Amino acid sequence: MGLRQWVKTGGAHVRSTKEAPVSESYAGRQFVGIDLHRRRSVIARMTDAGDRLNCVRISNDVQMLTTAMADAGESPEVVLEATYGWYWAVDALRDLGAQVHLAHPLGVKAFEYRRVKNDERDAFDLADLLRMGRLPQAWIAPPATRELREVLRHRAKLAASAAAARRRSTRCWPSAASRCR
């Protein structure tokens, strides 16, 4: 096994090895797995035969994502896990012409039980599941539905906050508890 290290190139960290990877200019169909986190993500590209092309670690930014996806060719198949904050990535990838798939978190829960767990391996495993047609998919809601969900989440948070404030006030003023309702 060759020496592996992260090399910084133009703002992105690229995983390099001394082993000869498949050519960076691969023109065939590509599958891309993205292990998305709050601040940084790992993007892994693979051929339709399952050969690994490269792995890039980027900061979560539309411009960085666009730069990293430039090597993936025309309309690559992209998969990312349905985690917090996936909306921006799906919208940016669709604008780039990618066919986006959302992995269901419970369907890929087996990742947690692996002996070796890291972001690079997760990204390659997501791409591999998509390539083999074994990816458990989640529904990608349209932007209007996502906006409605955000409003409802905010309303539920406000209602929970108001209920907590009422409970706190009854501890301080028991006689005022009946007037708070």
Residues 85 and 172 in one domain: no
Q: What pTM did the predictor assign?
A: 0.75
Q: Over the stretch 12-60, which tens digit does the pLDDT of each residue have?
A: 666 654 444 555 577 788 999 999 999 999 999 999 999 999 999 999 9
At 21, which CATH number?
A: 3.30.420.140
Q: Over the stretch 7-21, which tens digit does the pLDDT of each residue have?
A: 566 666 666 544 445
Residue 153, domain extent: 143-180
Question: What's the CA angle centered on 135, arms 72 and 31, to 5 degrees?
Answer: 10
Confidence of residue 83 (pLDDT cuts 50, 70, 90): confident
Residues 70 and 47 in one domain: yes
pLDDT of residue 172: 65
Residues 156 and 75 in one domain: no
Residues 39 and 127 in one domain: yes
Q: Tell me what percent of the chain is helix, strand and coil, each rounded to the nearest 5.
A: 40, 25, 30
Query: In the numeric block, which tokens belong to residue 88?
Result: 């921006």
176 or 144: which leads in pLDDT: 144
Residues 131 and 154 in one domain: no
- How many structural domains compose the chain? 2
